[in-house]
Amino acid sequence: MRPADGIPQDIGEHMRLMIDLLVLGFQTDTTRIATLKLNNDHSALRFPNLPSVQQPGHGIDYMIHHLLSHSDGEDWLKVNQFFMEQISYLAGKLDEIREGERTLLDNTILLHCSSMMAGAKHDNEQLPAIVIGGAGGRLKGGRVLEYQDKPDRQFCRLFLSLMDKMDQHPETFGDARSMLEEV
């Protein structure tokens, strides 16, 4: 049965629909490069579908910017878990699709970024990034790479490294002039 016309009102359903479209674009080779932005840091996005710990009996139905930038509480954790579930959904869908000897996930690079490490402080000194996929055998997974105390740890160096895995070799990107060799 065809779903009703229009944008799903459930935020999770809406995000999964966007993910399904992205996967379909990859699967059909309509595109192999996409950006999926699930939230804007200054948005008024709310999560009434997620039960609030801070306000029992209610959903997390207050401005997401305030939640993410002023709290490390249980609601902040629930919202971040929700976003990680969407990333997991995307990776799982890509991993279900065979492409010869590999899966679509094995042939893909997914980059998940956040503009904050923790909600209680406005600090951009340590930004988390998750890289998922195998880049067609060019990317080694299953590692945690820590750059907190290393020199020249510009985030743009990660982008240079990922572009290299896609056979793109610009000399610079943003403020970076070299790749993160470990990637």
Rounded to a whole number of angstroms, the distance between the first and last alpha carbons of the chain is: 45
Is residue 16 situated within a structural domain?
yes
Q: Give the residue-averaged pLDDT of 157-171.
A: 95
What is the band of 29 on the pLDDT scale with cuts at 50, 70, 90? very high
Is residue 19 situated within a structural domain?
yes
What is the band of 171 on the pLDDT scale with cuts at 50, 70, 90? very high
pLDDT at 58: 83
CA 59 to chain centre: 23
Is residue 153 situated within a structural domain?
no
pLDDT at 76: 79
pLDDT at 74: 82
Is residue 135 situated within a structural domain?
yes
Q: Output the CA–CA distances (angstroms, integers) from residue 174 to 99, 101, 156, 170, 178, in the order listed.
A: 34, 36, 6, 11, 11
Query: Does the pLDDT of residue 162 top 90, yes or no?
Result: yes
Is residue 161 situated within a structural domain?
no
Is residue 167 situated within a structural domain?
no
What is the band of 150 on the pLDDT scale with cuts at 50, 70, 90? confident
Is residue 58 situated within a structural domain?
yes
Is residue 181 situated within a structural domain?
no
pLDDT at 105: 97
Domain tally, the chain: 1
Domain extent at residue 68: 11-144
